[in-house]
Amino acid sequence: MSRTRLRIGYIPLIDAAAVIVAVDCGFAAAEGLDVELVREVSWSNVRDKLNIGLFDAAHLLSPMAIASSLGIGHVRVPIIAPFNLGLNGNAITVLPRLYAALTEFADGDLADPKVSARSLARVVAQRKSCGADPLTFGMTFPFSNHNYQLRFWMAAGGVDPDEDVRLVVLPPPYMVESLASGHVDGFCVGAPWNSVAVDAGLGRILHFGCEIMARASEKVLAVREHWANENAALLSALIRALMRAAEFVDAPANREAVAATVACRLDVGAELVARTLAGNLKIAPDGATRDSDRYIIIGRDDASRPDPVQAAWLYAQIARWGQAPTSDELCALAQGVFRPDLYEAALGSKLAQHSNEPRDGIGAFVGPDFVPEDIAGHLATWHNRRDSRPKLSIVR
Amino acid sequence: MRLGRVTPGAVAPARRMLLAATRKGSEPPGLGAPSPSGQWDSTLKIAIVDESPIRATILEDGLREAGFTQVERIADTRNLLARIYAIDPDVILIGLESPSRDMLEQMFQMSRAVRRPVAMFVDQSDRAAIQAAVDAGVSAYIVDGLKKERVTSILDLCISRFNAFARLQAELDHAKGALEERKVIDRAKGVLMKAKNLTEEQAYALLRKTAMNENKKIVEIAQSVLTAAELFQ
């Protein structure tokens, strides 16, 4: 049987595990697919190559799939997400000296994001009063959970992310170096980069992303809507291969094999990948660790099913920070990007198992339950919402 | 080496570039329009973001030859946005292989500076042209207000300079490869001379004869000699 060739672009991050394992452990081949995995250096490249058809599919930041479909920040190319590659997996890491300052101003346990956000507001106010430069935080892309999680956390403590601090886009491989050079005071990035900073003794993990939001769609498999329509059978085969791979990644018995396979593509140690997948991270250079079975979720708890509630939540963040206007129409378009129908068509209807999941599907650490039907009402609860475009990059 | 789609005479470039163009938001409408003679082009301020100094030089020279007088290079991508604001360019060239490309995306979010490049990809009729550009290693953004034809000329120039650079790189790689082969053959000759008490010419003749008999390249035989010598050590 001749196999169909596919080109899939990815960024070397641990949440590409399902794609990597599907290809390198034979799940794609078993579905008759001959996949060429193409490693990329920037999300912009991944997006553009997907847009113009150099890639058939890509490992993509979930909010980018929505931004592309809405035509914000770049040209409008309808992208769909028929498979969710991972939930969560990010963390906020800060310089030890910022951690010390946060400790000094904390009114409780810094592991509680409510406490750390309030403490951050006090540090920011103190720096302002003595004329110090505003704190600078790195994140990976304007349309990313890294951007939104930092903003959500800061704003909860009363910090205005557009006025009180600087947020700068940094490519993940530059994050650790930027911490070392003092160019940034902290960052929000995906695995393995937080652990790399901690292992190098340069940073301390303040929060896991899942402490900010318990369930956040982090990366999706993205394909052009047009391509999906033309290649329905092929897409179904790819979804099945990814599902098997995701379940393989999740099974603890396979951890060693998965870690070795993924580490090979990422050029990091297999042990670090295994720690990450187990949700057991060293958070401080002194060796302190933190454990969470929610740190990164691949292939379990219905994580692979693209959930339109997640799409609505991401659209709400896009609107909250002024990257797009607030409208029911745009929200509906955003929800249409996530395609559980295609997922179910490929796999058969699977009964969702949400035993341990937040009741609104998101589980943000503050604020009311998320109601996707009423984005405007939801955003009204955040009084510092802006109508203009964000000023997230004023670095003059 | 894995080869992509290679057109005859062209070598797939190892490095890729992106062309981004920005417009000064403070300009009143119409002022940015090119004059009929095309004079406006040469006043465009162009910034090259490239960690490869040789390629940046090739590009800069090409742009200057074409009459662009305001060309600046940025080699260090730390504080990239701040540097770009300081230069305040109309057009930015950046390597597609540079992770720093994502930093530029942040510019598209600006409210105060009001520079909002709009991608050239908007025009779907240009699909073939875009494909050709990406294949050559150049991709393009264009601005509202900045006429596409104006940027296209810069793009064309970049494509040709890029292909020139890629050919240069390929020649260099080839030359390096040849040098490596010579070293292997020289070392194998040394081994044979010592082991079999041969002169240099005899050692080379032996390598050549063996290669001919086995229908292999001399360098392959030489490599086998070295491997065998290591095993016998």
Nearest by CB to residue B101, choosing from A42, A49, A183, is: A42
Residue A277 domain-assigned?
yes
Q: How confident is the model at residue A350 (pLDDT cuts 50, 70, 90)?
A: low
A224 and A339, same domain (yes or no) = yes
| Six-digit token string for A130 | 């003595």
Q: Does residue A196 carry a pLDDT above 60? A: yes
In eight-state DSSP terms, residue A71 is T
B187-231 pLDDT tens trace: 999 999 999 999 999 999 999 999 999 888 999 999 999 988 888
- Tell me which residue of B70, B72, B85 sits closest to B25, measured CA to CA: B85
- Tell me which residue of A146, A135, A140 sits closest to A170, measured CA to CA: A140
CA diameter of chain B: 85
Residue A112 domain-assigned?
yes
A186 and A260, same domain (yes or no) = no
pLDDT at B146: 52
Closest residue in chain B to residue A11, using alpha carbons only: B99
A214-253 pLDDT tens trace: 999 999 999 999 999 999 999 999 999 999 999 999 999 9
Selected for mutation to probe chain A from B105, B118, B122 (highest A CB count within 10 Å) is B105
DSSP string, A299-315: SSTTTTS--HHHHHHHH
In 3-state terms, what secondary structure has residue A372? coil
Could you tell me if A9 lies within 8 Å of chain B, comparing CB atoms?
Answer: no
Residue A387 domain-assigned?
no
Residues in chain A with CB shorter than 8 Å from the CB of B98 are 41-42
A334: left (phi over 0), alpha (psi -120 to 50) or beta: alpha
A99-116 pLDDT tens trace: 999 999 999 999 999 999
Residues in chain A with CB shorter than 8 Å from the CB of B113 are 394
A143 and A208, same domain (yes or no) = yes
* Sole residue written with tokens 């003595």: A130
Is the peptide bond between A192 and the residue preceding it cis, with omega within 30 degrees of 0? yes
- Tell me which residue of B68, B96, B92 sits closest to B81, measured CA to CA: B92
Nearest by CB to residue B121, choosing from A42, A51, A170, is: A51
Residues in chain B with CB shorter than 8 Å from the CB of A50 are none
Residues in chain A with CB shorter than 8 Å from the CB of B99 are 41-42, 171-174
Instruction: Identify the bridge partners of residue A6 per DSSP, sorted by sequence position.
Output: A35
Closest residue in chain B to residue A71, using alpha carbons only: B122
pLDDT at A394: 34
Residues in chain B with CB shorter than 8 Å from the CB of A394 are 110, 112-113
Question: A141 and A318 in contact (C-beta within 8 Å)?
Answer: no
A118 and A230, same domain (yes or no) = no
CA–CA dist B178, B181 (Å, integer):
5
Q: Is the ipTM of this complex over 0.90?
A: no
A190 and A220, same domain (yes or no) = no
pLDDT at A131: 94
A327/chain B closest Cα distance in angstroms = 19
pLDDT at B23: 39
Nearest by CB to residue B111, choosing from A43, A51, A391, is: A391
The average pLDDT across A335-348 equals: 96
Q: How confident is the model at residue A157 (pLDDT cuts 50, 70, 90)?
A: very high
Query: Does B130 sit within 8 Å of A52, measured CB to CB?
Result: yes
Amino acid (one-letter) located at B125: S
Task: Determine the topology of domain B17-170 in CATH.
Answer: Rossmann fold (3.40.50)
Query: Does B134 sit within 8 Å of A52, measured CB to CB?
Result: yes
A169 and A314, same domain (yes or no) = no
CA–CA dist A268, B63 (Å, integer):
41
Query: Rg (Cα) of chain A, in Å, rounded?
Result: 20
Residue A15 domain-assigned?
yes
Query: Does A142 sit within 8 Å of B109, measured CB to CB?
Result: yes
Boundary of a domain, candidates A162, A197, A213: A213
**Sign of the torsion angle spanned by Cα atoms A63, A149, A196, A293:** negative
Residue A315 domain-assigned?
yes
Q: Does residue A193 carry a pLDDT above 90? A: yes
Closest residue in chain A to residue B135, using alpha carbons only: A54
Q: Which residues of chain B have pLDDT under 50?
A: 1-40, 111-125, 142-145
Burial bucket for residue B145 (CB in 10 Å: 0-12, 13-18, 19+):
middle
Contacts of B75 (CB under 8 A, 6+ apart): B50, B51, B53, B56
More confidently predicted of B6 and A388:
A388
Residue A49 domain-assigned?
yes
Question: A44 and B105 in contact (C-beta within 8 Å)?
Answer: yes
Amino acid (one-letter) located at A79: I
Residue A374 domain-assigned?
no
Residue A389 domain-assigned?
no
A41/chain B closest Cα distance in angstroms = 5
Query: Does B139 sit within 8 Å of A74, measured CB to CB?
Result: no
pTM of the model: 0.80
How many Cβ atoms are within 10 Å of A1's Cβ, its own excluded?
4
User: CATH 1.10.10.10 occupies which residues in chain B?
Assistant: 174-232
CA–CA dist B68, B54 (Å, integer):
19
Strand ranges for B81-126 from DSSP E: 91-95, 117-119
Q: Does residue A259 carry a pLDDT above 90? A: yes
- Side-chain half-sphere exposure of B137, counting CA atoms within 13 A: 27
Could you tell me if B106 lies within 8 Å of chain A, comparing CB atoms?
Answer: yes
Could you tell me if A45 lies within 8 Å of chain B, comparing CB atoms?
Answer: yes
Share of chain A above pLDDT 90, in %: 83
A357 and A232, same domain (yes or no) = yes
Query: Does B122 sit within 8 Å of A183, measured CB to CB?
Result: no
CA–CA dist A96, B28 (Å, integer):
48
A334 and A249, same domain (yes or no) = yes
pLDDT at B53: 79
A38-97 pLDDT tens trace: 999 889 889 888 988 889 999 999 999 999 999 887 777 899 999 999 999 999 999 999
Mean pLDDT of chain A, nearest integer: 92
A185 and A129, same domain (yes or no) = yes
Q: How many CB pairs under 8 A join A and B?
A: 96
How many Cβ atoms are within 10 Å of A70's Cβ, its own excluded?
21
pLDDT at B7: 33
A205 and A230, same domain (yes or no) = no
Domain span at A303: 4-87+216-281+294-361
Which range has the worst mean pLDDT, A275-279, A365-369, B168-172? Answer: B168-172
A174 and A187, same domain (yes or no) = yes
Residues in chain A with CB shorter than 8 Å from the CB of B127 are 52
Q: Does residue A189 carry a pLDDT above 90? A: yes
Boundary of a domain, candidates A213, A246, A268: A213
pLDDT at A388: 44
Question: B185 and B224 in contact (C-beta within 8 Å)?
Answer: no
| Six-digit token string for B103 | 């930093």
A103 and A74, same domain (yes or no) = no
* Sole residue written with tokens 């309808």: A78
How many Cβ atoms are within 10 Å of B24's Cβ, its own excluded?
16
A105/chain B closest Cα distance in angstroms = 30
* Sole residue written with tokens 């791979």: A245
CA–CA dist A272, A269 (Å, integer):
5
Task: Determine the topology of domain B174-232 in CATH.
Answer: Arc Repressor Mutant, subunit A (1.10.10)
The average pLDDT across A150-179 equals: 93
| Six-digit token string for B110 | 């600006």
How many distinct structural domains can be found in chain A? 2
Amino acid (one-letter) located at B214: E
pLDDT at B149: 60
A396/chain B closest Cα distance in angstroms = 5
CA–CA dist A45, B105 (Å, integer):
11
Query: Does B107 sit within 8 Å of A49, measured CB to CB?
Result: no
Could you tell me if B100 lies within 8 Å of chain A, comparing CB atoms?
Answer: yes
**Sign of the torsion angle spanned by Cα atoms A387, A395, B54, A38:** negative
Nearest by CB to residue B101, choosing from A44, A140, A173, is: A44
Nearest by CB to residue B102, choosing from A54, A169, A391, is: A169
Q: Does residue A258 carry a pLDDT above 50? A: yes
More confidently predicted of A173 and A38:
A38
Boundary of a domain, candidates A213, A235, A260: A213
Query: Does B102 sit within 8 Å of A73, measured CB to CB?
Result: no
Could you tell me if A133 lies within 8 Å of chain B, comparing CB atoms?
Answer: no
Question: B166 and B12 in contact (C-beta within 8 Å)?
Answer: yes
Domain CATH number, residue A179: 3.40.190.10
